Amino acid sequence: MDMSKTEKKVVAVGMSGGVDSTMAALLLQKQGHTVVGLTMKIWDDSVPGPATKSGCYGPNQIFSIAEAQATALKLGIEHHVVDLSDEFREAVIEYFRREYASGRTPNPCVMCNSMVKFGALFEKAAKSGIAFDLFATGHYARIVYNPIEHRYLLKRGVDAAKDQSYFLYRLSQGQLEKTVLPLGDYRKDNTRDMAREAGLEAYLKKPESQDFLERDDYGVLLGDKDKPGNIVDEKGNVIGRHAGIARYTVGQRKHLNLAGMKEPFYVLRIDVGRNEITTGPKASLCRSGLIAGDLHWILPFNALQGERLLAQIRYRSRPAECTLHPAGEGTIRVQFAMPQEAIAPGQSVVFYSGDTVAGGGIIQKALSDKQ
């Protein structure tokens, strides 16, 4: 945590009732801060059917809210539930629908963090009279102030396996200035040990919400727009049928149900206009570069041109060496040192200079060697 933020403050902690947000609140308490718990209410009963798995958006949120309230009571801190269902619907759900309608693969967690959790939650809580100086979450990432450049930097968490800086690359300087991330200097095992030492073992048994929706099928968000269609090979030959494009993303192998193929086929492209999925062998997934737009920079882009950076094209992808080049109209061309698999339009590509997040953007298209 940035030492400039460690004097005793009133810190609002985004609480889910899980172990990470609970331990973030407890650590801040132990440092002498006054902690206030904030929990987002985002579920609005707009998606029919029951929950089938753990997730952030679904009817089981009532239990998460109750758990967060119980956690606050256990810690002896003030707690507030902030209704952000309208804001979440516009910033995340409608964005999700628009992306799939365009044949792209959305990243709802990135948008939720920048626009809702670190945006609307912070702003609506303050406007409703909840007084606090700083905002905190249980993310595994670090924020450091560089006094020479007068800039807040976002860095990877110490625990490389748990690092969540990818999801936070769109945070502004204003948001970074007002944010503390208490778990960034800890490993997940350390967090679990601290929970046991504090007598909070029960929190270790709760499943972590790794998914956006409490359903296995994203098609429930698309209604009648999600219809069956053709699966074709790279030559355009019809080789199967898909159950709806919302069930697929670039690089996917499962649920294609292609019998009699000489080798496994993967999703290469999604054409929403034709309601068609193009598939091919794994070798056809490799691309040498990409075009990205809707860019956000934490480090100045001019200083990054020509520098060897590391890029992540998905949250769990291995960082890949690359260089950045202007491509016009608010876009950049990313050239990889080695071809990358399954570059999915709509996903975020995030760039790192060492362990510092340089910035990122939304993938518009993958590029072959000839492009």
Task: Give pLDDT tens digits for 41-99.
Answer: 999 988 777 887 778 888 889 999 999 999 999 999 999 999 999 999 999 999 998 89
Question: What does the pLDDT read at residue 97?
Answer: 87
Question: What does the pLDDT read at residue 6?
Answer: 53
Helical spans, DSSP H, in 150-240: 173-177, 188-197
Q: What is the DSSP letter of 139?
A: -
**Homologous superfamily of the 286-367 domain (CATH):** Translation factors (2.40.30.10)
129 Rama class: left (phi>0) / alpha (psi -120 to 50) / beta: left
**CA 341 – CA 221 distance, rounded (Å):** 28
Question: What does the pLDDT read at residue 227?
Answer: 85
Residues of the chain where predicted confidence (pLDDT) is lower than 70: 1-6, 207-210, 223-226, 369-371
Q: Which of 70, 170, 80, 72 is nearest to 126 (CA)?
A: 80
Report the b/e string of 289-323 with b at 16+ CB within 10 A.
bbbbeebbbbbeeeebeeeebbbbbbbebeebebb
Taking the domain 3-205, which CATH number applies?
Answer: 3.40.50.620
Would you state the structure tokens that stand for residue 71, as one six-digit string?
A: 């956690």
Question: What does the pLDDT read at residue 305?
Answer: 87
Domain boundaries, the chain: 3-205, 227-284, 286-367
Taking the domain 227-284, which CATH number applies?
Answer: 2.30.30.280
